Amino acid sequence: MHAARRRGYVGLLANRFAAAEKYLKMALALAPGDKDANYFLADCYIRQDKFALSAPHWQAAGEDSYAKWFAAVRGEAYQVHGETARLPFQQMDSVPLVC
């Protein structure tokens, strides 16, 4: 279980999410209550914008606030709805100025 969790963590650090998921799920199959493996798998899902899948793992890791927060995301994340506006730049220096 420790080796699978560590291999999953290394995959997560390298942004190799498929490998990270594989080994972290293997670690959780061996020890379902392991908080570190649940934390790492939740983080793996967050980095892939799979917020709903991360919620039960946050819960199992003891992070109730994160579990509630990410369980509340519905549909595709980062979508903007509503009216839009265009503002012309008044000046272009090192930082754009909008008035």
State pTM to two decimals. Answer: 0.76
Tens of pLDDT, residue by residue over 71-99, are 988 777 777 778 888 877 666 666 666 65
The residue among 22, 56, 68 whose CA lies nearest residue 3 is 22
List the domains of the chain with CATH numbers.
2-71 (1.25.40.10)
Those residues with Cβ within 8 angstroms of residue 32's Cβ, 6 or more apart along the chain or in another chain: 60
Tens of pLDDT, residue by residue over 20-64, are 999 999 999 999 999 999 999 999 999 999 999 999 999 999 999
